[in-house]
Amino acid sequence: MISFSSFYKQISDSSLQHWLETLPSILGQWQREHKHGSLPKWEKVLNKLHYPEADIIDFKTSVKIGSGEQLSDGEREKLENLLAIFKPWRKGPYSLHGVEIDTEWRSDWKWERVVPHISPLQNRTVLDVGCGSGYHMWRMLGEGAKHVVGIDPSPLFMCQFEAVKRIAGNDHPVHFLPLGIEELPALDAFDTVFSMGVLYHRRSPIDHIYQLRDQLRTGGELVLETLVIDGDENTVLVPKDRYGKMNNVWFLPSVDALMLWLKKCDFTDIRCVDVDVTSLAEQRSTQWMPNESLVDYLDPNDVSLTVEGYPAPKRATIIATKNQPNKDLI
């Protein structure tokens, strides 16, 4: 069974103390809800992941754990087969004792676009909302963060994260909690909060921005990355049905609309630091994610459009600072 004890041990002296009292029952409930799905099978696989302390660990320029020289060919093949049970691997890439997990997404490319613009993470407490397999959490640690907490309700992503953590060693101050953002109380605690690739999945984007704001200390930094469209501050696309074959896409604002939303939610120093059309090289099918990918979501005759005729995915990164609350707006 997945244990959250190292989370409690490492976080217990922090300003998050009051939250920790309610967490065990929430996490216990999550485990009970998933006990009839694939989770028990995945937990058995996790329990087989025992490896020597890695000779090399790099989180600064990639996520690489172990040079590969510590395992025999047979041991490496066994590791590869165990990790394959957690397919599809969407977010990465990872290099784990010589096993190269070529994921659907080049999440490292997103990180390289974002990291030059954020406040240095050195010694900061960080929350990554919708962290997926946790790829960016390791990179946050590589930038010197003191503690990284990721939340994501997906049991598969949790197990992928746990697999990497078991190989990296349990002492790293990085923790995954299987929660949705709506399950967090207002913690007012984190120095930096990331929400990357989540806002368009939320039915109420302004509430999402408030929920993110509630996790930050005053003066803390929000890093918000989401799908955008071209237009002015009143332009927002709400897809009629699917967007890029996804049935859970709600609001795609223009950059100016998004900046207005952040202003209205009492953020200051709001700036758009990157806008990027997702390339077919950044999101594609691989051996580790053999299902459909971006090329199948775009119009085969015009890749500037999705199969539904909407603008193809374009992502913006906005950075903003939490201000003192303006009581009139709440």
Ligand X SMILES: Nc1ncnc2c1ncn2[C@@H]1O[C@H](C[S@+](CC[C@H]([NH3+])C(=O)[O-])CC(=O)[O-])[C@@H](O)[C@H]1O
Instruction: Please enumerate, by residue number, every residue annotated as part of a binding site for carboxy-S-adenosyl-L-methionine.
Output: 91, 105, 110, 130, 152-154, 181-182, 196, 200, 315
Residue 188 CB contacts under 8 Å (≥ 6 apart), including other chains: 214, 215, 216, 217, 218
Task: For ligand X, give the closer residue by CB, 54 or 137.
Answer: 137
Task: For ligand X, give the closer residue by CB, 91 or 165.
Answer: 91
Cα 94 to the center of its chain, rounded Å: 15
Task: For ligand X, give the closer residue by CB, 125 or 211.
Answer: 211
CB of 174 to ligand X, least distance (A): 14
Separation in Å, CA 162 to CA 46, 48, 128: 7, 12, 16
Task: For ligand X, give the closer residue by CB, 201 or 284.
Answer: 201
CB of 326 to ligand X, least distance (A): 26
The vertex-194 CA angle with 94 and 284, nearest 5°, equals: 40
Q: Which residues pair with 105 in a beta bridge?
A: 91, 283
Neighbouring C-beta atoms of residue 57, cutoff 10 Å: 18
Residue 17 CB contacts under 8 Å (≥ 6 apart), including other chains: none
Task: For ligand X, give the closer residue by CB, 124 or 202.
Answer: 202
Look up tokens 């047979």; give the residue: 74
Token digits of residue 167: 């190989």
Residues in the chain, overall count = 330
d(CA 278, CA 175): 29
Token digits of residue 143: 């930038």
Q: In this structure, what are the phi and psi dihedrals at residue 216, rounded to the nearest 5 degrees?
A: -90, 145
The vertex-264 CA angle with 259 and 267, nearest 5°, equals: 70
CB of 184 to ligand X, least distance (A): 9
CB of 149 to ligand X, least distance (A): 12
Q: Which residues pair with 128 in a beta bridge?
A: 150, 194
Q: What residues make contact with ligand X under the rule CB under 6 A? A: 91, 107, 110, 129-132, 151-154, 157, 180-182, 196-198, 201
Residue nearest to ligand X (CB): 197
CB of 69 to ligand X, least distance (A): 30
What Rg value do the Cα atoms of the chain yield, rounded? 20
Task: For ligand X, give the closer residue by CB, 79 or 158.
Answer: 158
Binding site, residues?
A: 91, 105, 110, 130, 152-154, 181-182, 196, 200, 315
CB of 119 to ligand X, least distance (A): 19
Strands 190-196 and 216-227: parallel
Q: Are 252 and 243 in contact (CB under 8 A)?
A: yes
Task: For ligand X, give the closer residue by CB, 194 or 267.
Answer: 194
CB of 89 to ligand X, least distance (A): 12
Look up tokens 């930050």; give the residue: 216
Spatial CA neighbour of 219 closest among 266, 150, 274? 266
Task: For ligand X, give the closer residue by CB, 69 or 182.
Answer: 182
CB of 155 to ligand X, least distance (A): 10
SS3 239: coil
